[in-house]
Structure 1
């Protein structure tokens, strides 16, 4: 991949990790009125946890930085299928898996950037079906 593509993937990884690392209340504020399904968030994070492996091969991330991403991927795999059908906002407050994921995301950011407190990504506007 080219350097610009690697930079974008690194930025995407760090922004999503910032969202996962945020306090629950900050995550809920970020969600606002959006109704994200937990299964969709899990799918996105599972991809996110695989992408940095290739980036580490190209020197964008250190191999040691990936330990917590792998742990997040394992923890996501342990989330029961019945917990995946709920809205993510509800899961954040009821499923202890998200607290574990938060801890790993914080360690990843601390290792990668020196501080887990990072600006949250801009929320994506809900799709309205209008063009």
Structure 2
């Protein structure tokens, strides 16, 4: 596998691991970061575009791509008001995240190496993520 393909496959799987995690794990991972739902929507759309290229190079299957497209559609359907909400708060309040969690888990269970994936490494908070 091409090193770039491997990098983007890993990135996609780590993002899906976050989406698939149980609610308390998701909230703990997000912590006090001020990431909004809009961030999640953009990341889902980005993962979908990555998967399109990776599917063309047989890294993912067309079924994987369809699942990522379903996740992107589900997050894109969140209304404009919800997009300004902190992602960690929205996870418990909006049932759309239950659908996303189920879709992400289904994606991960179709991988040949079906083992639990760790959540992505936490990135230290960016001062721009904090309200002043």
Work out whether the TM-score is over 0.5: yes
Aligned length: 128
* Distance in 2 between residues matched to 1:125 and 1:113, nearest whole Å: 32
Aligned pairs (5 A) from 1:5-44 = 5-44=4-43
Which consecutive segments of 4 or more residues in structure 1 shift more than 6 A?
none
Give the Å deviation of 1:128. Answer: 3.2
Q: Which residue of 2 aligns with 1:90?
A: 89
Q: Which residue of 1 aligns with 2:54?
A: 55
Note the alpha carbon deviations across 1:2-42, whole angstroms, 9 max, x for none. 81111100000000000000001000111122221111121
TM-score, normalization: structure 1? 0.90
Moved more, 85-94 or 30-39: 30-39
* Distance in 1 between residues matched to 2:104 and 2:67, nearest whole Å: 7
Q: CA RMSD in A?
A: 1.7
* Distance in 1 between residues matched to 2:115 and 2:96, nearest whole Å: 19
TM-score, normalization: structure 2? 0.89
Aligned pairs (5 A) from 1:52-131 = 52-113=51-112, 115=114, 117-128=116-127
Q: What are the ranges of 5 or more consecutive residues in structure 1 without an aligned counterpart? A: none
